[in-house]
A and B are shown apart, each in its own frame.
Chain A
Amino acid sequence: MSGAPSLAQRFAARSDGAKLLIPYLMAGAEDSWLESIEAVIEAGADAVEVGLPFSDPIIDGPTIEDAGNRSLARGTTAHDVLAALGTRSWGAPLVVMTYYNVIAHMGHERFAGMATDAGVSGAIIPDLSLEEIGPWAETADDRGIATVMLVAPSTSPERTVRICDRSRGFVYAVARMGVTGERAEIGDEASAVVDKVAAATSLPACVGIGVSNAEQARQVSRVADGVVVGSALVRRLAEGAGPEGAAAFVASLRQAIDA
Chain B
Amino acid sequence: MTMMGDPGPTGRFGEFGGRFVPEPLMPACVELEQAFREAWSDQTFVDEYRRLLVEFGGRPTPITPCRRLSEELGVTLLLKREDLAHTGSHKINNVVGQALLTKRMGKPKMIAETGAGQHGVASATAAALMGLECTVYMGEVDTQRQQLNVFRMELLGATVHPVTSGSRTLKDAVNEAMRTWVSEVDDTHYCLGSVMGPHPFPWMVREFQRVIGVEAREQMEAGGHGEPDLVVACVGGGSNAAGIFSGFVDTDARLVGVEAAGGAAIMTGSPGVLHGMRSQLIQDDEGQITEAHSISAGLDYPGIGPEHAHLADSGRATYEKAGDIEVLEALQLLSSREGIIPALETAHALAWVVREAGGQIPHGSTVLVNLSGRGDKDVAQVRDILRGES
What is the chain B residue whose CB lies nearest that of A154?
B27
CA distance A57 to B175 in the complex (A): 8
Q: A56-B175, A61-B179, A179-B182 are in contact. Are A102 and B23 (CB under 8 A)?
A: no
Asked if A104 contacts B273 (CB within 8 A), the reply is yes
List, in ascending order, chain B residues with CB within 8 A of A65's CB: 165-166
Kindly state the interface size class of chain B when it binds its partner.
35 or more
**Scoring A residues 182 to 210 as 1 if CB is less than 8 Å from chain B, else 0, what string do you get?**
00000000000000000000000000000
A-B contact count (CB 8 A): 120
Kindly state the interface size class of chain A when it binds its partner.
35 or more
Q: Which of B24, B25, B171, B172 has the most chain A CB within a 10 Å cutoff?
A: B24
Asked if A127 contacts B276 (CB within 8 A), the reply is yes
* Main SS class of interface, B: mixed
- Judged by a CB distance under 8 angstroms, whether A241 is at the interface is no
Within the complex, which residue of A56, A69, A152, A176 is in contact with B274, where a contact is CB–CB below 8 Å? Answer: A56
Asked if B182 contacts A59 (CB within 8 A), the reply is yes
Q: A58-B178, A101-B272 are in contact. Are A155 and B27 (CB under 8 A)?
A: yes
Within the complex, which residue of B20, B179, B287 is in contact with A127, where a contact is CB–CB below 8 Å? Answer: B20
Closest chain-A Cβ to B27's Cβ sits at a distance in Å of 5
Closest chain-B Cβ to A209's Cβ sits at a distance in Å of 9
Interface stretch among A112-120, A128-136, A139-147? Answer: A128-136
What is the chain A residue whose CB lies nearest that of B288?
A55
**Scoring B residues 7 to 19 as 1 if CB is less than 8 Å from chain A, else 0, what string do you get?**
0001000000011
Closest chain-A Cβ to B65's Cβ sits at a distance in Å of 43
List, in ascending order, chain A residues with CB within 8 A of B27's CB: 152, 154-156, 159
What is the chain B residue whose CB lies nearest that of A131?
B19
Given contacts A131-B26, A154-B23, A155-B23, 8 further A-B contacts (CB under 8 A): A62-B165, A99-B273, A127-B21, A131-B19, A153-B24, A155-B27, A178-B183, A179-B183
Which residues from chain B sit less than 8 Å from chain A, CB to CB?
Answer: 10, 18-28, 165-166, 171-172, 175, 178-179, 182-183, 185-186, 271-276, 281, 283, 286-290
**4 nearest CB pairs, A to B:** A105-B287, A152-B24, A178-B183, A150-B23
